[in-house]
Chain A
């Protein structure tokens, strides 16, 4: 009796699992898990909430407005026709953004804008006035020196400080 009930239960379990779309034996070996497709775009969008979430201009506009209502955060010639080095510049950009986020932790008010003019790399950032100016100066010098040595090109930081973050709208 007990065995029969157990087998029926395991059969029900298996059928339930099969219905959910995964084929796996009760012992838990590797298998293919499939879920239904969610036909929604989630890239770089802030979902509308109750109206108490302050959002900057850059965050508020989804990515299909790039080129129409938004500019580009990073500019270099590698994305033009016949030019090379796009991958290297992209990797540099990603590293610089993470580096800035970590060095000026909690002070960044908005995204970082990276401009390249020939050899010169200019990193523009908006900061909040959370640290005393001496600390800011030290961190700026430290970042510039370290990044210059890392990338073997002159790196300049253009920092602007604000009291509060500029809010575009509340979502």
Chain B
């Protein structure tokens, strides 16, 4: 009998091999024990054989005990069942979970032998009780947050320079990640001691790294291979920028109007134009050039015009600036 069945299996195997090559590789790569529902080779005994063989097999073959779920008390310590992150064990989880797309008119497959439940990550080790116990255990290693630093403003005041770096964790045997060496250094320019010239020079030196809206200078260092080196380089850059912006070089005297960051009205074409126009309109009385100029400049309308032009040039065009300019022009030209 055994030989007969084994021959049948052999023939089946041969048919499989002579068939499509794809199938063969499939069966090799997957787990398959062939297509039979036969329990398999463990049950070698046959009823035809002698009782001795049967008895021998029975002693060897143990029946599996009842699952752990049957012995669980309702108020057991769940942390001892699932202390760490482990895959789903149906015999250790006493819940009647079902997972999978149901057959038509059926229900999702049950948890015993369910591969879908094993594929997904589970959080059975993170019950609220477990988290509370973890926190309690970690409390002894923690220190209190300093009470003087309860607002963002306080933190900025005491710690104006902020250094940011990222650590990377991945599911691989290696810890190394080349992006972990990048260091960002952020500092608000208002917290640095800079006068007008120093501030303008700093902004010129720094260029793109300064954000006008938040007044934050960001220095990113990534040219060195280690994070420590990048950190030191960023601090060095900050120091150098600060000291250099305080120094005045000889060639800075050659700064032209085009280099100026802010628009200044004195000695500008706008001032010359308005003064010449007002002189031609003979608004002021007759007199020397200089006196007439001084008089005109002192006038309220001219001052308003100056403010509106400066505001328009510095802040850009918007509803309010253009309205202000219009009002000022109307007043100056007596329209």
Binding site for B on A (CB under 8 A): 42, 53-54, 56-59, 61, 65, 69-73, 75-78, 82-83, 85, 88-89, 97-98, 101, 106-113, 115-119, 122, 124, 126, 128-133, 151-153, 158, 160-169
Contact = CB atoms under 8 A, between A and B. Distances in A.
A67 to B, nearest CB: 12
B87 A163 contact: no
Given A131-B42, A163-B39, A57 B171 contact: no
Contact of B101 (A69, A83, A89): A69
B171 A118 contact: yes
Nearest to B103: A169
Nearest to A166: B113
A116 B89 CA distance: 17
A82 B37 CA distance: 46
Residue among A57, A61, A108, A167 with the most chain B CB within 10 A?
A57
B35 interface: yes
Interface of B: 22, 28-31, 33, 35, 37, 39-42, 60-62, 64, 85-87, 89-91, 100-101, 103, 109, 112-116, 118-121, 169-174, 179
B33 A166 contact: no
A75 B119 CA distance: 8
Contacts of B174: 85
5 contacts: A106-B41, A129-B64, A162-B113, A163-B64, A166-B114
Contacts of A88: 172
A71 B86 CA distance: 17
Given A77-B171, A78-B171, A110 B31 contact: yes
A164 B64 contact: no
**Counting chain A CB atoms within 10 Å of each CB, which of B28, B30, B62 scores highest?**
B30
B91 A160 contact: yes
Contact of B37 (A54, A83, A122, A151): A54
A151 B109 CA distance: 35
A117 B100 CA distance: 25
Among all A-B residue pairs, the 8 with the closest Cβ atoms: A71-B119, A108-B31, A116-B171, A166-B113, A76-B171, A69-B101, A77-B170, A77-B171
Given A72-B119, A78-B172, A158-B86, A166 B64 contact: no
B60 A132 contact: yes
B115 A113 contact: yes
Nearest to A71: B119
A152 B173 contact: yes
Contacts, number: 127
Given A78-B170, A109-B113, A132-B62, 11 more contacts: A54-B37, A57-B114, A69-B101, A71-B116, A78-B171, A85-B174, A106-B33, A113-B118, A129-B64, A131-B42, A163-B39
Given A110-B113, A113-B119, A130 B87 contact: no
A47 to B, nearest CB: 10
Contacts of B40: 106, 128, 130
Contacts of A97: 29
Nearest to A131: B42
Contacts of A108: 31, 33
Contact of A133 (B62, B91, B116, B179): B62
B41 A130 contact: yes
A128 B43 CA distance: 12
A147 B37 CA distance: 31
**Which one of B29, B89, B101, B121 has the highest number of Cβ atoms from chain A below 10 Å of its Cβ?**
B101
Contact of A117 (B33, B171, B179): B171
Contacts of B22: 42
Contact of A119 (B39, B109, B119, B173): B173
Nearest to A65: B101
Contacts of B60: 132
A118 to B, nearest CB: 6
A22 B13 CA distance: 33
A164 B39 CA distance: 6
B43 to A, nearest CB: 9
A165 B120 CA distance: 20
A76 B120 CA distance: 12
Given A113-B87, A163-B64, A54 B173 contact: no
A125 B218 CA distance: 51
Contacts of B109: 57, 166, 168
B29 A98 contact: yes
B253 to A, nearest CB: 49
Interface centre among B60, B62, B116, B169 (most CB of A within 10 A): B116
B115 A130 contact: no
Contacts of B35: 53-54
